[in-house]
Homo-oligomer: A and B are copies of this chain.
Amino acid sequence: MSATYRDVKADILDKITRGTWAPGSLVPSEVDLAETYGCARATVNRAMRELVEDGIIERRRKAGTRVRMAPVRQARFAIPIVRKEIEDQGAAYRYALVSRAVATAPDWLRARLNLAGGGQVLHLTCMHYADGIPYQFEDRWINLAVLPQAREADFAQTGPNEWLVAEIPFSDAEISFLAVSADAGLAAHLGCAPGDALFQTERITWWQGAANTFVRLTYRRGHRMTARY
């Protein structure tokens, strides 16, 4: 008979979406709500914490809880491994290494990764195909100071993405989404015309404070990234 935290959350959300509790207004205190729902304060607390997480309400000690004025809408995008992304679409995945070179990090990369001068990096470019059709072009730079074992790794069969996932399980990352115009190289690799608008993501990942890789992924023409929230 007593309300679960889901019930409480749902009811509060309902009161907010229906406008019973208007944006900016003060929500009753946890103690009051616990009484009205006939449950413990901890239960109300959990419901409220999740609503904060969802960007629906704001809470401050002593000041109380209020409905957000402008809801912070936030979308969560899953960042899958390319192979999984393609196989989940029911297509056959194929990988190909395009180029591999060890070099001194160029200035722009040193700046992005915050590297010391003279740092050696492994530069890889690869292609990912779905049912034999170009799907994504990968332009990856690996910091050899952090991952010296990358020098010996064989990227002819497995993509650097999967190698990295196995090598360093978890890391911090910064990701950007942007649009670029296809240059001659991209156009050739992705089978589109030079100048076509392409969707691109850039990602820098850190591991234990040091940047370990920079990657630029360019998708084939018409790709879109979608999320519900």
Give the copy number: 2
Max chain B Cβ within 10 angstroms of own Cβ: one of A80, A84, A177: A177
Q: Are A74 and B73 in contact (CB under 8 A)?
A: no
Max chain B Cβ within 10 angstroms of own Cβ: one of A16, A72, A73: A73
Min Cβ gap A53→B in Å is 8
Q: Are B81 and A174 in contact (CB under 8 A)?
A: no
> Is A153 interfacial (CB 8 A cutoff)?
no
In chain A, positions 207-229 with a C-beta closer than 8 Å to chain B are: 207-208, 222-229
6 A-B residue pairings within 8 Å (CB atoms): A23-B169, A73-B78, A75-B175, A174-B229, A175-B229, A181-B196
Using a CB–CB distance below 8 Å, which chain A residues touch chain B? 13, 16-17, 19, 22-23, 53, 56, 67, 70-81, 84, 165-166, 168-181, 195-200, 202, 207-208, 222-229
